[in-house]
Structure 1
Amino acid sequence: MEGTRDTLARRVEEGQRRLGMPDSPRLSIATRAWMAFAEEAVTNRPLDEPDALTELGAFLESGFISLLGTLDRPATLPR
């Protein structure tokens, strides 16, 4: 299972680099965090509803895009 996660993380990170996103430790952490989120969503989402796969895909995509948007924020937010 960990090998699969490593492969997926590497593929996502490569895609992000192709999109011009700079390498950063937070990029790697964000990738792994999203993968855990996606695993949980996939294993707990009922797929017997109409359009369930389409909705799940859109949900995961929007979550990933939102997560990537946080990478541009400062490491600490002002209080």
Structure 2
Amino acid sequence: MELDRFKRLVATVMKNVTTRASNATKKFATEEATFTEFRTLYSLAQCTPDISGQDCYKCLEDAVADLLFDTNGNTSGFAMRPSCTAQ
């Protein structure tokens, strides 16, 4: 697998779902992106409804940073914070 290209795809997709979730009424977003003919990236970002869009964005931004750090080349990852989840 082309690890650098995969990491760039993950970063781009997670930025998109973070932005969409923080701006959404229900603070939830998903996205699919094709990596290869046989590999699809599925992503999700979600915040609890009690926080503002700005706080949601910051929470997801931190969670995604953990996700990208913790995956270390793996093709799956999950990050959970008290007010948000990214995967």
Task: Classify the TM-score, shorter chain.
Answer: 0.3 to 0.5
Q: Work out which of the two has the higher radius of gyration on C-alpha atoms and give 1 or 2.
A: 1
Q: TM-score, normalised by structure 2?
A: 0.39
Q: Report which structure shows greater RCO (CA 8 Å, sep ≥6).
A: 1
